[in-house]
Structure 1
Amino acid sequence: MTTENIDRVSVDFTGPYKLSIGGRLVETNQTFDVFNPATNEVLAQAPEGSAEQMEEAIAAAKAAFPAWAAMDADERGALIETYADALEAHKDELITLLTLEQGKPRHSMATGEVEAAIFWVREVAKRRLPVEVIEDTDDHVVEIHHTPLGVVGAITPWNFPVLLGLWKVAPCLVTGNTMVMKPSPYTPLTTLRFGEIAQQIFPAGVLNIVSGGNELGAQMTEHPAIAKISFTGSTATGKKVMASGSSNLKRITLELGGNDAAIVLADADWEPIVETLFWAAFGNSGQWCIASKRVYVHSSIHADFVKAFVEYAKSVKVGDGMDPETGLGPIQNKMQYEKLQSLFDDVKANGYKVPLGGTIDTSLAGNFVPVTIVDNPPEDSRIVKEEPFGPILPIIAFDDVEEVIAKANDSEFGLAGSVWGRDRDAAIAVAKRLETGTVWVNEIHIHGIDIPFGGHKQSGMGVENGAEGLAEFTNTKTYMFHK
């Protein structure tokens, strides 16, 4: 398929929704409800794939692998770029569908997610892992090559289903692997649609999408024909993935939870960063792994910072993501909504100071949770120790740099963090001591195609993006030649 006839790709975004298996759109005997979190009304029926259909998808990916792996990398890259063009042609429909099933505001985060995902696909298509020559003498050559693994199983989350799904698709395919993807049952629709578009671009079996329950994920992680699992989700589930994948020593990439600390030093020019840190914490209603989930502010500026933070927060509307005035949408699903209710109850029961929010109105039809700020809770409180994954944030005073570094590192998580201060060298010195996979200094949430992203400790294993992320989809193969 060429770029010139992209506009001929025709997809009905009103349904019905079907699985993508072996280049075909496949119906299922059973379906399940997908809800609009802004109303809790049924948005659509999604196909519930069976164990037999998952077997068919894995078999299709396995059958497609030899020819796809043998294809010239530039040919694969050209097809992936064509896929990006096809996604671009349906960008508006994907954005709307994402808002309806996930809840994030259409005019801001949903648009940003889909546009970033398309950009990622297009740019990753151009990336290659070069052959590295270790030795080349008169009589001997040693070369390091990267060869594809085979069939990759991808399990994607409900918070960023398009971006985090396509983050996996593009590097997997460009390195010569084939894929079976299972989206979260909370947000399967946009994934099914980008899978449907893919069937008109790629050879049959290269990309397969099977939606359904958690048992399908377990089937993938245990399956002997799957060489690698790429999983994004909770740390608890990531541990189960790692355990079940050990049956055939699967390669595993895990992008898991976080409890990221932002540290605002005494000399920070703090007023201009209030808005920045608000969105770093509350973007996507706090439903992202790299949200700033603890903000430590030096005691000399803590009270003023909290006051300004509360004032800015009051200006942000929580509502239906289809409303152009909405800044923050609903919590995506009832499971997470109920977890947040438990956390809110704990804050209230312990009498922590709450200068904004604090009470969830359960009479509302949608899963709406107010922006909530907890002022200076104790370090051993649930709101400090746990990952809330919602719009509630502790802002904690500190006096000593050594103290705040120790507190920031006192976590089972180690995904990312940030440090803010006028003295750049001093801020960098703090950043270098944080036990996380990524640290930003006087900026936050900067990502890039060529920037590796991954967690330390129980925030994950392996990386995505960059040459390192590409290499995660390959085996290292050493060739030695006697001249």
Structure 2
Amino acid sequence: MTRATGGIVTINPTSGDELDFYPYTTPQDIDRVLQIAGASRWGQSRVADRVAAIDQLGEILAERREPLATLITLEMGKPIRQARAEIDKCVSACRYYAQELPEILRPETFDIDGDTAIVRVVPIGVVFAILPWNYPWWQVIRAMLPAIAAGNTVVLKHAESVTGSALAIQEVFQDAFGEGVLQTVVVDAATASAIIEDSRIEAVTFTGSDRVGALVAARAGAALKKCVLELGGSDPFIVLADADINAAAAAAVTSRFINNGQSCIAAKRILVHRDVHDAFVDALVPHVRTLKVGDPADETIDVGPLARHDLRDSLRKQRAQALATGGRVIAQADAPESARGAWFSPSIVEVDERDSVLLSDETFGPLGALTTGADDDELIALANSSRYGLSSSLWSTDSDHAASVSARVHAGAVFVNTISATDPRLPTGGIKASGYGRELGKWGVYELANLQTLRIRTT
């Protein structure tokens, strides 16, 4: 993505070629978008009508799976098989909410000292969503489908590098829900900041870096607007002494390198009990070396380019800093040699220094850190030493041992003997510098709704 006069140009990260030019949304059109969103009668719609629209959304996504997945691959380099899987996951979320929404929105009734009390889910209005490029469709479905199910309308400012997908999202939602339920604006950061302050916006949701998240939260907080933040992660992948080593090694590679390593909940810090270090590394290395890196449009490819060239440059800098302080590359798969593409060779670096940049900072790409701990206490201390707390994965063949250790992990989620993954049925979100608020499941609906209490006394 590059900025041009009056708009942006999207770039194919595989080749470096320009894809398309998109003009910025004019101030007049932004005002019109906000007026339409605020005047929408979607919040007054019947639950049955919402269910039908959500079901229709799923059907449209399934029908348009191939062109939507192809656009994802063109704009941000996701391997085509994974791009299709992203659309499929969006379809599964639609099916979940179409089935469960009547129960989620059903008012709860209580008897309170002879009074009848009712808690009901009421929409709050227009939600402004500022969302990232790494899962162009899933980020929107995950964050905004629950909000729309609650009766809200959405104004979407997507990442500039996936503007083509952002406009496709608007088109699909309009076909399913009608005009005004989800609208896309193409704006820069300064304009997005001004939209947060607009009186027609009732809440803001942001997914991205903790640095920008703090700015968004400050702007929303100054206007006393609800804000949901899903920020960075430096998730620990904890291998205990009694883990299934082969299964853990294979899962670590999958988790670290899925989506070209550009996932907030990837296994960024692999923390291995010292007693099983050698066996784990022996099992890990072949999985890394056999990764196929190349053109993401190729059905056989595991890892494509990074989504942007500046992201590649930042990752190269982090790797150089880690190696300069004693880090060692223990496994690597070679990437294509191309000055124009945003290529980076997927690699695992073993580090001994506890202040290594690979342990202290988030690495957003195919670069993983591995280090060891002498016992459970040291492994947990390492896991919790990060300023982030998004998710985690823990490996042990002893369920009691796993339960005991997992309770000590400071994160929004702990996955035992499986990799971290979002699921429409479960809440997702973080603690510490990974943000606050929850998305998905019934919790995602309630997060951006007014849980209104009605207490009635019969006279």
Please tell me the TM-score bracket, short chain as reference. over 0.9
Q: How does 1:218-237 map to 2 (within 5 A)?
A: 218-237=193-212
Give the alignment partner of residue 400 of structure 1, picking from 375, 390, 406.
Answer: 375
8 A Cα contact 2:347 2:366, kept in partner: yes
Structure 2 residue identity aligned to 1:53 = D
Q: Is the 8 A contact 1:165 1:191 kept in 2?
A: no
2:97 maps to 124
Which residue, 181, 185, 202 being the options, matches 1:210? Answer: 185
Corresponding residue number in structure 2 for 1:307: 282
Is 1:356 matched up with 2:334? no
Residue 469 to residue 273, structure 1, CA distance change in 2 (3 Å): same
CA-CA distance at 1:361 after TM superposition: 7.8
Moved more, 213-222 or 151-160: 213-222
Contact 1:103–1:331 (CA under 8 A) maintained in structure 2: yes
Residue 472 to residue 391, structure 1, CA distance change in 2 (3 Å): same
User: Which of 250, 256, 260 is the matching residue for 1:281?
Assistant: 256
2:22 maps to 1:49: no
Unaligned runs of 5+ in 1: 1-28
Q: Residue 76 of structure 1 aligns with which residue?
A: 50
Q: Does 1:259 align with 2:234?
A: yes
* Distance in structure 2 (CA, Å) of the matches to 1:324 and 1:79: 33
**Corresponding residue number in structure 1 for 2:36:** 60
AA at the equivalent of 1:72: R
Aligned residue runs from structure 1 range 416-435, under 5 A: 416-435=391-410
User: What SS class does the counterpart of residue 271 from structure 1 fall into?
Assistant: helix
Gaps of 5+ in 2: none
* Contact 1:153–1:228 (Cα < 8 Å) also in 2: yes
CA contact (8 A) 2:414 2:420 kept: no
1:359 is displaced (CA, Å) by 9.2
SS class of match (1:159): coil
CA distance in 1, matches of 2:206, 2:161: 16
Q: What is residue 201 of structure 1 aligned with on the other side? A: 176
Name the CA distance, whole Å, in 2 between partners of 1:289 and 1:97.
22
Describe how 1:53-452 pairs up with structure 2 within 5 A. Answer: 53-64=29-40, 67-107=41-81, 109-126=82-99, 127=101, 128-135=104-111, 139-357=114-332, 363-452=338-427
Amino acid at match of 1:176: G
**RMSD of aligned alpha carbons:** 1.9
Which is worse superposed, 265-274 or 251-260? 265-274
Tell me which of 450, 459, 464 is aligned to 2:434.
Answer: 459
Deviation per residue, 1:282-315 (Å, 9 max, x gap)? 1112101000110111112112211321111110
Give 1:122 shift.
3.0
Deviation string, structure 1 residues 390-424 (Cα, Å, up to 9, x no partner): 11111111111111111110111000111111111
CA distance in 2, matches of 1:416, 1:364: 35
Amino acid in structure 2 at the alignment position of 1:99: T
- What SS is found at the alignment partner of 1:292? coil
Between the two proteins, what is the percent identity of the paired residues?
A: 32
Aligned to 1:24: none
Q: Output the CA distance in 1 between the equivalents of 2:191 and 2:250.
A: 41
Change (3 A) 1:359 1:93: closer
CA offset digits 1:453-479 (Å, max 9, x no partner): 110111011000111111012012111
Secondary structure, counterpart of 1:179 in structure 2: strand
Shifted more, 210-219 versus 423-432: the winner is 210-219
Distance 2:215 2:421 in 1: 30
Name the CA distance, whole Å, in 2 between partners of 1:136 and 1:456. 34
Q: Secondary structure at the match of 1:180?
A: strand
> CA–CA distance in 2 between the matches of 1:120 and 1:398?
38
One-letter identity of the residue aligned with 2:68: L
CA distance in 1, matches of 2:144, 2:244: 41
> 1:51: Cα distance to partner?
3.2
C-alpha deviation, 1:130, in angstroms: 2.3
Contact 2:204 2:227 in 1 (8 A): yes
CA contact 1:398–1:404 (8 Å) conserved in 2: yes
> What is the count of residue pairs matched by the alignment?
452
Deviation of 1:363 (Å): 4.7
What SS class does the counterpart of residue 372 from structure 2 fall into? strand
Query: After TM superposition, which residue ranges in structure 1, 4 or more long, deviate above 6 angstroms?
Result: 358-362
Q: Secondary structure at the match of 2:180?
A: coil
TM-score, length basis structure 2:
0.94
